[in-house]
């Protein structure tokens, strides 16, 4: 059995379907927001939107008990809170890190759609770039 089957055993199909639709939209929007962090006029809006995206993923995945997704979303949300206090632009290292995070969530989106078990978190994603650069 895959992740979707596991979810459907414990939750209503409509809840799962709604989560998958919203999650896919959030994952699709991440890359543009991340790239916009390098634009001073877009920084504040983008960092706040990214924070909301990861907060929503954290909340929904926690409710659905999708533990790896929940943990990574919480981890990234904490780092985005730090970025909210920083002046633009972010470093290339931070942008690359966030793009790699986005890729991990995209892999999970595919896993969910195909009813596969979620791929494991890449440990390189847990190395936080120096946000002071």
pTM (2 decimals)? 0.88
pLDDT digits (tens, 9 = 90+) for 34-79: 999 999 999 999 999 999 999 999 999 999 989 999 999 999 999 9
Q: What is the pLDDT of residue 114?
A: 87
CB 35 within 8 A of CB 95: yes
Q: What is the pLDDT of residue 6?
A: 62
| Burial class for 22, CB neighbours closer than 10 Å (0-12, 13-18, 19+) | middle
pLDDT digits (tens, 9 = 90+) for 20-34: 899 999 999 999 999
Of 10-14, 51-55, 96-100, the one with minimum mean pLDDT is 10-14
64: Cβ–Cβ under 8 A, 6 or more apart, which residues?
7, 11, 15, 16, 19
State mean pLDDT over 106-110.
94
Of 85 and 3, more confident: 85
15: Cβ–Cβ under 8 A, 6 or more apart, which residues?
64
Q: What is the mean pLDDT of the chain?
A: 88
Which phi and psi (to 5°) does residue 50 adopt?
Answer: -60, -40
Alpha helices in 1-133 (DSSP H): 3-10, 13-36, 43-63, 67-84, 92-113
């Amino acid at each position: 059995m895959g992740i979707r089957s596991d979810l459907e055993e414990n939750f209503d199909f409509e809840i799962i379907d709604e989560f998958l639709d919203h999650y896919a939209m959030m994952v699709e929007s991440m890359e543009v927001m991340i790239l916009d962090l390098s634009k001073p006029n877009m920084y504040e809006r983008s960092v706040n939107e990214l924070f909301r995206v990861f907060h929503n993923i954290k909340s929904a995945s926690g409710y659905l008990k999708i533990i790896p997704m929940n943990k990574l979303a919480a981890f990234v949300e904490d780092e985005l809170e730090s970025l909210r206090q920083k002046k633009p632009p972010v470093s290339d290292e931070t942008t690359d890190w966030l793009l790699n995070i986005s890729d991990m969530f995209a892999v999970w989106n595919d896993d969910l759609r195909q009813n596969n078990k979620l791929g494991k978190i890449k440990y390189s994603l847990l190395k936080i770039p120096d946000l002071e650069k």
